[in-house]
Structure 1
Amino acid sequence: MDSKQYTYRVIWSVEDNEYVGLCAEFPSLSWLDADQLKAFSGIVDLVAEVVAEMSSNSEKVPTPLSERKYSGRFAVRVPSMVHQKLALEAAERGVSMNRLVSAKLAM
């Protein structure tokens, strides 16, 4: 497993007054640094260490988000008034509710 295939990002933390390196597949891990690039390289290196340790212990290593298969379907429950409002808006636009909600989610 190449740990560089995971989903990384770096954000500014006002609370810590530093950059925070994060990995979506390992939400419990983070790396703080005053330098943005060092925060990124820190989290990448940390994840590599964790993946190596997990592999050596025969633990299941998370699949990178980019390699996962998505069906394009998911169910969500909303309050009945929201459902009614969406149905009305879809009818007024002359589209299916699925198309309307999909367009709203894509924004």
Structure 2
Amino acid sequence: MTKFTDRYTYRVTWSEEDQEHVGLCVEFPSLSWLDKSPEKALSGIRALIKECVIDMQRVGEHVPEPLSVKKFSGKFMVRIPPETHRNLAIQAAEEGVSLNRLISSRLH
């Protein structure tokens, strides 16, 4: 069975400022791990998240739900300027598609 912390969203990127790789976890944006190798940056952030989750559970704090298991509705609202809305509606009409389909196709 996969450990709970294995379900989090991890990423490793290069930090020009630190001249090292940085391991990150989307669900814990305030935490990171620096290392010379990308593999060690990943294993470092994973170990840090595991320790953090154990501590949070021990003191009864809310532990973030992994994005990988979170249910999404497929809907979200975006506020745009009225002129942009009008222009997109015109483009959708010209293409013979709904505004929703036009926007969805541009987000892929």
TM-score (norm 2): 0.95
Question: For residue 102 of structure 1, what is the aligned residue in structure 2?
Answer: 104
1:78 aligns with 2:74: no
The 2-side partners of 1:3 and 1:68 are apart by 14
The 1-side partners of 2:15 and 2:86 are apart by 40
Question: For residue 27 of structure 2, what is the aligned residue in structure 1?
Answer: 25
Q: Helix, strand or coil for the counterpart of 1:89?
A: helix
The 2-side partners of 1:2 and 1:98 are apart by 36
Q: Helix, strand or coil for the counterpart of 1:67?
A: coil
The 1-side partners of 2:96 and 2:4 are apart by 47
How many residue pairs get aligned? The number is 106
TM-score (norm 1): 0.96
1:39 aligns with 2:22: no
Structure 1 outlier segments of 4+, above 6 Å: none
Which ranges of structure 1 fall in alignment gaps of 5 or more residues?
none
1:52 aligns with 2:91: no
The 1-side partners of 2:19 and 2:87 are apart by 43
Q: CA deviation at 1:105?
A: 1.0
Q: CA deviation at 1:59?
A: 1.1
The 2-side partners of 1:82 and 1:45 are apart by 45
The 2-side partners of 1:35 and 1:86 are apart by 45
Which shifted more, 42-51 or 78-87? 78-87
Q: Helix, strand or coil for the counterpart of 2:23?
A: strand
The 2-side partners of 1:16 and 1:26 are apart by 20
Which ranges of structure 2 fall in alignment gaps of 5 or more residues?
none
